[in-house]
């Protein structure tokens, strides 16, 4: 089976698969970031919380994804084939990856800059959102890029538990013992990963025009 | 006015950073806190805007007790300049300068316009406004730091070693411009440095602190150099203080000698008759001194050309008529001809003095001071008698 014939056969499914893959990779990324920001801030603010938080989330990352997909239904009370399992698992990985990066990113802002902000009359909250977080954006963004690419590739694993998305191509290719669909899938995932990466990079550049040299 | 009222800072380990400090920084003047590391000078400064809270004692800004003002509010009313400027790397220069006015609620557009004017005021072109701090030199960053501290026009400024991270030439420039700016603005400034020369150059009043956070002496720079309160201050003020003290003594009317001058561009052949002891002073068309020409060292061939600047010895410093004894003495000592060049207010040549003439002036002044010291000591003895 060549590359095109498989795509033609499944032309009706492609849009749906792509959409599922995209939101399965993107939504956990956003939710994971939203959870990692306060946790990372806590770890950077109260130094004693750093080791337990970073270790705990680090261990989370070592659990194989397949195990997580299978265990989660028991924990969440969802059906085994529910897409929510995948979304929750990927959110957990995103948090695991980002907590340390957010904490380190916030801590990397120089104390001179921070005390200058206080001395200008910033309140603690104004200083966090107006100075510390914006300066940490390139660091946090770099972590987000890793998480995004990792999420995209993990979505493909979810096809084993039957969630219909682009990862189906790998299953079909393997079932039919033909390379065509597998190559199609590979190209699709690489393109998707590149798009995610590019969008996040664009976001970082827009938010941090000052760090242009550092990112190049 | 900033007033420390027996302010003590004890750290949690029990170490004392500042020990019962009583000090008043008068309105419109520069008060310099100087001392070795560990003398609590930066801690003292940071207690004024409550970056550090005193363990005991009070700090007053005019009649306001700083402990009773919310820290953020207090700080928005106090300019603050730190070492290495501490600019926000993610904001453009103009937004850095506009920081405090924006915090105080000024519309961003107005704050930016005002920030651009301030950049000019501290000697930076407006075009730098759109750059980021990382694109500026250390000296430029420091100027931006000063502009940022001035942006909300606070009556009080705190400056923590603002010029110590730049090279000596830039530092001297920044110091001179800082003094010029202060001459226009008249802020109440508390300035921290570990450099006694900087303290003496900038301070209207200098407070020397010793290790352990105790005040050793508060005096004008001239007083500090001529009457150090104890061995610690004397040691800290350092060598050459007799000479440096001359920097605070007006030269007065010096006996200027006439000196024939050569104008640059004149024929070299015309210089030997105008030379004294083999040296001729060369000036430009406006009679501003350019340097000395060693007439004896000229070959026959060279004598046919004009006087050009390349031939001049530039070793001598210039002193102004209204300057100090130190400048006059230095002009004489550094002059290759041994005759110090004195210029008028516009930089035009006024005459020359020799080192011995300046020394005579110094001796005469010293004997007057000695006499005064004896009289005032005698007056104290009389006052102490029952």
pLDDT tens digit sequence for A89-113: 889 999 999 999 999 999 999 999 9
Contact A210 B132 (CB under 8 A): yes
CA distance B44 to B52: 8
On chain A, the residues whose CB falls within 8 A of the CB of B158 are 119
CA distances from B202 to A144, B157, B160, B174 (A): 50, 14, 13, 11
Domains in chain A: ranges and CATH: 16-168+201-215 (1.10.3720.10)
For the cut 80, the answer to whether the pLDDT of residue B251 exceeds it is yes
CA distance B88 to B97: 10
CA distances from B7 to B45, B55, B59, B60 (A): 12, 8, 7, 11
Mean pLDDT score, B133-143: 92
Residue of A87 and B204 predicted with greater confidence: B204
Q: What SS3 state is found at B276?
A: strand
Contact B72 A123 (CB under 8 A): yes
CA distances from B331 to A168, B175, B292, B295, B318 (A): 89, 22, 13, 21, 5
CB-CB: which of B76, B82, B103 is closest to A116? B82
On chain B, the residues whose CB falls within 8 A of the CB of A204 are none
> What was the pLDDT predicted at A215?
43
Tokens matching residue B317: 């410093």
Q: What SS3 state is found at B114?
A: helix
Q: What SS3 state is found at B344?
A: coil
For the cut 90, the answer to whether the pLDDT of residue B175 exceeds it is yes
**Taking the C-alpha atoms of B81, B83, B84 and B85 in order, what is their torsion angle to the nearest 10 degrees?**
-10
CA distance A90 to B380: 86
B149 Cβ contact list (under 8 Å, min separation 6) = B79, B80, B81, B157, B159
CA distance A70 to A81: 9
Looking at the complex, does the CB of residue B86 fall below 8 Å from at least one CB of chain A? yes
Residue of A145 and A181 predicted with greater confidence: A145
> What was the pLDDT predicted at A182?
83
CB-CB: which of A119, A134, A135 is closest to B51? A119
What are A119-159's pLDDT values in tens digits?
Answer: 999 999 999 999 999 999 999 999 999 999 998 888 888 77
Residue in B with minimal Cα distance to A134:
B90
Assign residue B134 a region (left: φ > 0; alpha: ψ between -120 and 50; beta: otherwise): alpha
CA distance B32 to B30: 6
Residue in B with minimal Cα distance to A211:
B90
CATH code of B261-360, in short, is 3.10.580.10
Residue in B with minimal Cα distance to A213:
B134
| Average pLDDT value for chain A | 87
For the cut 50, the answer to whether the pLDDT of residue A216 exceeds it is no
Domain with CATH 3.10.580.10 in chain B: 261-360
Looking at the complex, does the CB of residue B90 fall below 8 Å from at least one CB of chain A? yes
Residue with tokens 């390349």: B310
Mean pLDDT score, A70-79: 81
On chain A, the residues whose CB falls within 8 A of the CB of B51 are 115, 118-119
Among the residue ranges B223-232, B342-351, B376-385, the one predicted with the least confidence is B376-385
Residue of B195 and A159 predicted with greater confidence: B195
pLDDT above 90 covers what percent of chain B?
62
Contact B75 A119 (CB under 8 A): yes
Angle, CA of A59, A63 and A67, to the nearest 5°: 155
Query: How confident is residue B384, by pLDDT bands cut at 50, 70 and 90?
Result: confident
> What was the pLDDT predicted at B301?
67
For the cut 80, the answer to whether the pLDDT of residue A12 exceeds it is no
Contact A210 B134 (CB under 8 A): yes
Name every residue in A having a CB less than 8 A away from some CB of B.
Answer: 112-113, 115-123, 126, 131, 134-135, 137, 208, 210-211, 213
What are B2-26's pLDDT values in tens digits?
Answer: 999 999 999 888 889 999 999 999 9
CB B78 within 8 A of CB B148: no
CA distance B65 to B119: 33
Mean pLDDT score, A68-92: 82
On chain A, the residues whose CB falls within 8 A of the CB of B132 are 210
| Average pLDDT value for chain B | 90
How many Cβ pairs within 8 Å bridge chains A and B? 60
| Max Cα distance, chain A (Å) | 69
Phi, psi for A199 (deg, rounded to 5): -65, -40
Mean pLDDT score, A48-73: 85
CA distance A100 to B99: 31
Query: How confident is residue B165, by pLDDT bands cut at 50, 70 and 90?
Result: confident
C-alpha gyration radius of chain A: 20
Residue in A with minimal Cα distance to B93:
A210
Mutate to test the interface with A, among B76, B90, B145 (most CBs of A within 10 A): B90
User: Domain B2-248 has what CATH class?
Assistant: alpha beta
pLDDT above 70 covers what percent of chain A?
97
CA distances from A88 to A53, A91, A154, B137, B364 (A): 19, 5, 12, 49, 91
Looking at the complex, does the CB of residue B87 fall below 8 Å from at least one CB of chain A? yes
Among the residue ranges A123-132, A154-163, B68-77, B328-337, the one predicted with the least confidence is A154-163
B196 Cβ contact list (under 8 Å, min separation 6) = B34, B236, B237, B238
Strands across the sheet containing B56-61: B16-25, B2-10, B56-61, B64-65
Residue with tokens 């956990």: A28
CB-CB: which of B51, B89, B158 is closest to A113? B89
CB B92 within 8 A of CB B130: yes
CA distance B202 to B189: 11
Tokens matching residue B63: 């009649």
pLDDT above 90 covers what percent of chain A?
46
CA distance A121 to A66: 51
What string of H, E and C letters represents the secondary structure of A14-41? Answer: HHHHHHHHHHHHHHHHHHHHHHHHHHHH
Mutate to test the interface with B, among A111, A114, A119, A139 (most CBs of B within 10 A): A119
For the cut 70, the answer to whether the pLDDT of residue B189 exceeds it is yes
Residue length of chain A: 216
> What was the pLDDT predicted at A164?
76
Contact A119 B100 (CB under 8 A): no
> What was the pLDDT predicted at B180?
93
């Amino acid at each position: 089976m060549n590359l095109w014939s498989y795509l033609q056969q499944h032309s009706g499914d492609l849009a749906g698969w792509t959409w599922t893959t995209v939101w399965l990779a993107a939504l956990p990324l956003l939710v994971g970031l939203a959870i990692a920001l306060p946790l990372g801030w806590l770890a950077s603010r109260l130094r004693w919380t750093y080791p337990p938080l970073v270790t705990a989330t680090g261990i989370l990352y070592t659990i194989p994804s397949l195990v997580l997909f299978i265990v989660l239904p028991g924990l969440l009370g969802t059906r085994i084939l529910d897409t929510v399992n995948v979304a929750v698992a990927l959110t957990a990985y995103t948090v695991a990856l980002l907590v340390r990066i957010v904490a380190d990113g916030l801590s990397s802002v120089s104390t001179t800059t921070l005390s200058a902000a206080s001395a200008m009359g910033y309140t603690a909250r104004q200083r966090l959102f107006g100075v510390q977080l914006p300066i940490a954006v390139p660091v946090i963004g770099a972590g987000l890029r890793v998480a995004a690419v990792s999420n995209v590739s993990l979505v493909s694993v979810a096809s084993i538990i039957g969630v219909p998305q682009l990862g189906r191509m790998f299953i079909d290719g393997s079932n039919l013992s033909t390379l065509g669909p597998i190559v199609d899938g590979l190209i699709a995932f690489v393109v998707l990963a590149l798009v995610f990466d590019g969008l996040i990079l664009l976001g970082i550049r827009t938010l941090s025009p000052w760090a242009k040299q550092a990112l190049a | 006015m900033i007033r420390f009222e027996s302010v003590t800072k004890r750290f949690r380990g029990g170490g004392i950073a500042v020990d019962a400090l009583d000090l008043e920084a008068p309105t419109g003047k520069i008060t310099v806190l100087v001392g070795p590391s560990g003398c609590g000078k930066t801690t003292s400064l940071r207690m004024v805007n409550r970056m550090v809270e005193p363990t005991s004692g009070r700090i007053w800004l005019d009649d306001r007790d700083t402990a009773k003002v919310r820290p953020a509010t207090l700080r928005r009313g106090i300019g603050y300049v730190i070492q290495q400027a501490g600019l926000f790397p993610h904001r453009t220069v103009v937004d850095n300068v506009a920081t405090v006015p924006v915090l105080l609620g000024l519309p961003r557009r107005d704050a930016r316009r005002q920030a651009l004017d301030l950049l000019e005021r501290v000697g930076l072109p407006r075009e730098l406004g759109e750059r980021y701090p990382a694109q500026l030199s250390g000296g430029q960053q420091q100027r931006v730091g000063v502009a940022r501290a001035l942006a909300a026009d606070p009556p009080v400024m705190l400056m923590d070693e603002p010029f110590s991270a730049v090279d000596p030439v830039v530092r001297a420039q920044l110091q001179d411009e800082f003094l010029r700016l202060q001459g226009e603005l008249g802020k109440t400034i508390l300035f921290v440095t570990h450099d006694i020369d900087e303290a003496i150059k900038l301070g209207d009043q200098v407070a020397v602190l010793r290790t352990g956070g105790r005040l050793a002496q508060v005096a004008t720079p001239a007083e500090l150099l001529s009457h150090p309160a104890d061995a610690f201050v004397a040691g800290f003020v350092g060598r050459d203080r007799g000479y440096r003290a001359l920097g605070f003594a007006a030269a007065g009317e010096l006996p200027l000698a006439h000196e024939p001058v050569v104008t640059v561009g004149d024929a070299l052949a015309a210089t030997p008759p105008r030379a004294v002891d083999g040296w001729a002073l060369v000036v430009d068309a406006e009679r501003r001194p350019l340097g000395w020409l060693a007439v004896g060292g000229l070959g026959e061939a060279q004598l046919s050309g004009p006087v050009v600047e390349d031939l001049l010895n530039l070793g001598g410093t210039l002193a102004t008529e209204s300057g100090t004894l130190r400048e006059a003495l230095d002009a004489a000592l550094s002059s290759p001809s041994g005759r110090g060049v004195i210029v008028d207010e516009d930089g035009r040549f006024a005459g020359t003095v020799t080192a011995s003439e300046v020394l005579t002036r110094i001796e005469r002044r010293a004997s007057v001071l000695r006499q005064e010291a004896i009289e005032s000591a005698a007056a104290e003895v009389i006052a102490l008698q029952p």
